[in-house]
Structure 1
């Protein structure tokens, strides 16, 4: 009987952990909360070119060294009525969107935020709810550093290969 009780306790604990993980994160982001978005493969933090000091449209995004972001790593996550995210940089006030071609892949840039497919991102959580794939609604590709090997890489859109560079941690700051 003790053996059965121990197994039930273990199952209950795992299910509770999963439910807690699945109910936290971007789904519960309050308006005005700031977040840091960090790539799981490189440890690079998502920032706009010039550390958020350039609010021009169509500038590149980087997965940059987390110790040298100069405030450009802060993002607001705004849920649209259709359930997608607008990912707005706090310093530039601009939102992530697909850009042009960058060495045979699609770059990720910024532009004036609006509620159109181009600016919509799906936040697909892993089973524990602690990392996310950020999927462009218009391109149907995932946000990834170009190579996924080290901080400092340009962020691009690519086909989901379900490897570490496709996953991002989103933490409230």
Structure 2
């Protein structure tokens, strides 16, 4: 059984702090209720016109899930840093860190908010894709092997098109007429 699905981090800025509320949050919670996603963490930071900061953090993880996720993330980081022994040490450190707090501490929130202009807001989300978790379980049961994974955004396609156009122009200059 696959314990966690892929996790995506999304950061969104809002030039009008009032627009952080409403439809966007309703849609996020609707996706969660329908079990398409699980909200691992949400941090909303609002900076009013006078520079006063308000923040809210939300998670749907139980304490046990927070600890398991911390251990899994720590193990993977440790594995990359120092192979087997690093994975064990990383798992222990990750689980321990998740026991104390989840998300960002007040100092980290203040640092983020410093970079947000007055009268604006920002939302930071860690979202687990539950639909992909079930999909992966089925693929693994059928001996499937992941060959590639990633998100392709419209902006990345536009950038790719620009790069391809530049490449074609350069190639045309090199090719005799």
Structure 1 and Structure 2 fold alike (TM over 0.5): no
Q: Name which structure has the greater RCO, CA cutoff 8 Å, separation 6+.
A: 2
Q: Which has the larger radius of gyration?
A: 2
Per the shorter chain, which TM-score range?
under 0.3
Bigger fraction of residues in strand = 1
Q: TM-score, normalising length from structure 1?
A: 0.24
